[in-house]
Chain A
């Protein structure tokens, strides 16, 4: 690893750690692309493009109008500049807003009809769409049943959903899990009722753009009292060049239901930057619980900072009912620029929001990420654990809001954000906003920034560990809280991605 020399490594930082962190940015294993015939809409965004996307998706008129209204709003908005990220100006008229594999023009009726090249793409990514291949047993997982755990996957390739697995089994449980384009046709009432109620059309610049041009995404509805029998997952893949991906995910957990949802993302290596502006809306009704886990591994750009994905994402969960609960877990290792704040609106009394995040920025990556916890109901609770690791010349920022409204009596928040710096040219920043407007609530915020702590290292060494093992243990502990919050399948992938010598802790 000759390029390692470029990173200035300080004493006490384990070489393995450096290599592992380096590897995340260096050897992007999902950087290949699929040679497949694509059908593009012309570049740029205007009412005609929006109408075309709407038409390609076979949408009813109300949806087209909704999009056009969003476009009109977007044209009047300004791109936000407050995040601690810098990137060359994006020419929004020089992007393809719609690209689909030609074979998908006539939607295949079952997975058997899907272009084998597409299926091969997902297999290569380790996302087998064929149901029989999904029985991937997880070794050492004590709680997992013997035959392994099932995961239903909705795979999105550029602008279209390729297919959704386990449809039959989900139907039995009355769970609706399909692409959003399908949901607009099949379940218009649900979509109409919930779409845009958590992230309003003109919420922010990128969400508004998404509202106008979103092409596909996933839709989940869990009926009252149903515990979703398997984990649901969406896999996003940007393949085409100069294409923006704008997916929209809508998850509704009705009263007393439960679902765990996973999201993964990759893109080929290209030397020009690509835009990804997604919106995720989650509605959690009374006594329902949603777990949303992300492993974001978009192409981060090369070592010189060329190319990569600009990841400008709006994710928000609305805990509408009493005792509802939402948990965001994210492992952010990819993207050249990340701008992402998965948030919780704690409206119901005794509702809970949790946010666990690991953000790794290496080389020229820039990450400005965090969360918002808006406490509106009484006795609401939130917990934020954010771990940022910076290496190379990367900048990593935690930006968060904790707000306790006057009526949110007896609410609690605990925030911890820790940053670890590897090498002397990177930056780690913390920008928390804390607003407490009543006195029965308690907000606690703690943040630290350091290299590997000397005292901890000394303690371990004093117990007879060599330095490398000691550092591995300390760094391992640094991320552990977040890794433990991930579902088993993701924890494995995340562990590989984070790849910071986590000997013996997870799995």
Chain B
């Protein structure tokens, strides 16, 4: 990749670790393939076009970074819901804090507990969606995760599930490198809600592969914790069959560096894929949403809605792409990325792309960036609203379009409440 030799110290270190993995099991071949892939690609470096706006250095440094612990109540957003709790502490599954894995209308297993088995339903998905997602753009961190991740959940929804599966990440160690690899399969006609919350690690690398069969539906809501010094890289790979639905929303607050990649392939006719994200960043904050949606079937709909509020020198990045293949007629593709810059030092960098090979499509994208609307602010103040509160109101209304992408009214309310709290704490 690129002209510069990547920083491979970390790669060597990690791959040495992989060398010592002795288990074969159902995922052995996929791991070996992923290792070969990442060795061939090398880790990303700042000369890579795909990392033009976000320097990957801190994600690929060999030394394990430290991040101060911060007590956080992020998971409380989901507290009002009946749920199946699965807790990872510093990347290690905690049976004490988690609910029982069995006895639900959805099958939940752990990667670590099944690894020595021969044959598993997840072998058709694990590492396969990631491998498919390496073209046309390489994602070495995801391949690295497939090769090395020690744990993660394997969730199989065979019908409509009554309770959402909630992954809670807790952090007790200031310095830990966490890699988790989750696999979700939604059978034909089945549905699943999947929640994630909390601080994963000082540095984390998460991969979520989701395979949705015909008419299946998958809802994903993720709260990336209020962890100031966190470094995070996440990849979501989704494969959608006929008439299936994929909806994902991510709320991010703070964190030193977050790169969320989402790779979606619409392979069946009339599929629906929505990806949305709202992020609020203050100070030393880099947040990067990189989305790649491929339309490879007739009549599919995709939406990308990303909103960023940035202050005190925070940086927001959006790289989105809609690729419409030649046979993907009647495609409806929409993409919007907007940022609200609350002061002079913050910046927004965007690359919203379209690549279209079919003619009967309606694809559009928009991208805007600017400060709080002075006229709106003046209007509110003339009605007696104090400036700080008025700014918060306008900021919330700006984020609303992304938050509204969540399919559940109650959940929308709790996310909005959470955002209000975040803004209130920063009121000047």
1/0 per position for A1-38, CB-CB distance to B under 8 A?
00000000010000000000000000000000000000
Contact with B356, one of A82, A409, A443, A449 (Cβ below 8 angstroms): A449
User: A429 interface residue, CB < 8 Å from B?
Assistant: yes
Chain B residues lying within 8 Å of A440, measured Cβ to Cβ, are 344, 371
* Nearest residue, chain B, Cβ from A439: B341
Contact with B367, one of A10, A438, A443, A451 (Cβ below 8 angstroms): A443
- Once the chains are docked, how many angstroms separate the CA of A347 from the CA of B345? 20
- Once the chains are docked, how many angstroms separate the CA of A422 from the CA of B364? 17
A446 near B366 with CB under 8 A, answer: yes
Chain B residues lying within 8 Å of A439, measured Cβ to Cβ, are 341-344, 346, 370-371
A429 near B364 with CB under 8 A, answer: no
Contact with B352, one of A428, A445, A451 (Cβ below 8 angstroms): A445
User: A174 interface residue, CB < 8 Å from B?
Assistant: no
Report B52 CB to chain A, min CB distance, Å.
Answer: 8
1/0 per position for A104-147, CB-CB distance to B under 8 A?
00000000000000000000000000000000000000000000
Report A331 CB to chain B, min CB distance, Å.
Answer: 22
B357 near A436 with CB under 8 A, answer: no
Chain A, interface SS category: strand
A429 near B350 with CB under 8 A, answer: no
Given A435-B347, A439-B343, the answer on whether A450 and B362 have CB atoms closer than 8 Å is yes
Interface residues in A, total, Cβ within 8 A: 36
User: A444 interface residue, CB < 8 Å from B?
Assistant: yes
Given A439-B341, A439-B342, the answer on whether A427 and B364 have CB atoms closer than 8 Å is no
* Nearest residue, chain A, Cβ from B365: A447
Given A432-B353, A433-B351, A442-B369, the answer on whether A448 and B344 have CB atoms closer than 8 Å is no
B353 near A429 with CB under 8 A, answer: yes
B370 near A442 with CB under 8 A, answer: yes
User: A431 interface residue, CB < 8 Å from B?
Assistant: yes
Chain A residues lying within 8 Å of B53, measured Cβ to Cβ, are 435
Chain A residues lying within 8 Å of B349, measured Cβ to Cβ, are 433-436
Given A424-B326, A446-B364, the answer on whether A432 and B342 have CB atoms closer than 8 Å is no
User: B195 interface residue, CB < 8 Å from A?
Assistant: no
A451 near B368 with CB under 8 A, answer: no
* Nearest residue, chain B, Cβ from A84: B355
* Nearest residue, chain A, Cβ from B350: A434
Given A406-B344, A450-B363, the answer on whether A444 and B352 have CB atoms closer than 8 Å is no
Chain B residues lying within 8 Å of A443, measured Cβ to Cβ, are 367-370
Report B345 CB to chain A, min CB distance, Å.
Answer: 8
A429 near B369 with CB under 8 A, answer: no
- Once the chains are docked, how many angstroms separate the CA of A409 from the CA of B370? 11
Q: Could you list 14 further interchain pairs (A-B, Cβ under 8 angstroms) beyond the known A436-B348, A439-B344?
A: A10-B359, A422-B359, A425-B326, A427-B355, A428-B356, A432-B367, A434-B351, A435-B349, A435-B350, A443-B368, A445-B352, A445-B367, A449-B364, A450-B361
- B: residues with CB less than 8 A from A are 49, 53, 326, 329, 339, 341-371
